[in-house]
Amino acid sequence: MSKKPYSETRERIKQKKAQKRRKRNVKIVRIFMATLIIMVVLTGVGWLSMQIYQWGSQRVAVYMEIYDGYKQRKDLRAASFDPRFDGYTNILVLGLDPGKEDSGQSADSVIIMSFKHNTGEVRFITIPRYTMVNIQGRNAPEPLNNAYYYGGIPLMEQTVSKNLGITLHHYVAIDTEALAEIVDVIGGIDIYVDNDLDYDDPEGDLYIHIPKGIQHMEGDMAQKYLRFASDDLGVYGRSMRQQKFLKAFCSKLMEPDSLSKIPELVEICDRRIKSSIEAFDSGHFASLLTNMQGTKPVVTILPGELQHDGSWIYNQVKTTELIDELFPQEESGGED
């Protein structure tokens, strides 16, 4: 067999060397690209981490600013609190008519709701809206709901607190439309109506017709039941109906089906209700509601007498006795 020419062999050697160089170059390029990609990824991760850190730092700063503001508001309110009520959380509940906001509305219902921390017991004191009280800046006693007209919630809080000698830790203001929504969400409540309730007010677009007997009240009927005040008992009869409603409402609210509706109730409260209660208070109130399960509410009316003109003259001596009975000093303890 003849040997291949020397020139041909040399050419093949050159080709093999060229192939090796190309492979080596490809490998170098691949290594370079991989290194570049890794560097880009690491740079991106570093940038993203920095952005997340900065975003988180900003959020924490905003959170702390909000919390500091909350603490300042809470401390400012607490500065005027009577220590004898430290074992309770007292809330002024105002039921507003569906008129224009603020100065155009009136406080149709005035109720003090009190939670006892160590037992979960809840007490209600209903205050007739025409209760004659001393209002700051006025020369003579006037109906309580005038305080809301003159100075809104702040003056209403101050007036109730000073006249009754009770600390109010928070307030909640709810109009009748929001109340109707809440009653609808929990499926309505059952109340025995003592007498036929009939009232027509074309100018105010209010028509109330509720027959005597057991009634399953959806939201619209419930708010009309609470607003009715045209029987012989006037504001006293209205306060008595408020007491019946509060007992039925609390009982229904503690049912398992109603507890499952808490997210919907929270949404309504956030959208429709004015309150001094803030998100940071949620843990405290969750604890109160947990303790409340299984307890029966105590509902009373501010002691006094109904006058011929429809006003309510409260008895200061009996009111002091009622406050002492509901809030015995020896049982008060530190607030959560």
Q: How far is C-alpha 169 from the geometric centre of its chain's CA atoms?
A: 14
Cα separation, 43 vs 112, whole angstroms: 61
Evaluate whether 161 touches 133 at the Cβ level (below 8 Å).
no
Residue 257 is predicted with a pLDDT of: 83
Question: What digits encode the pLDDT tens for the residues 101-158?
Answer: 555 567 888 999 998 888 888 889 999 989 999 999 999 999 999 999 899 999 999 9
Residue 235 is predicted with a pLDDT of: 77
Cα separation, 238 vs 229, whole angstroms: 5
Helix (H, G, I), strand (E, B) or coil at 161: helix
Quickly tell me which residue has 């009190």 as its tokens: 114
This prediction has a pTM of: 0.70
Handedness of CA 191, 194, 195, 198 (dihedral sign): negative
Band (pLDDT 50/70/90 cuts) for residue 99 is: low
Band (pLDDT 50/70/90 cuts) for residue 176 is: confident
Strand partners of residue 83:
none
Residue 49 is predicted with a pLDDT of: 62
Evaluate whether 167 touches 85 at the Cβ level (below 8 Å).
yes
**Burial state string for 152-174 with b = 16 or more CB within 10 A and e = fewer than 16:** bbebbbbbbbebbebbbbbbbbb
What domains, with CATH codes, occur in the chain? Answer: 80-331 (3.40.630.190)
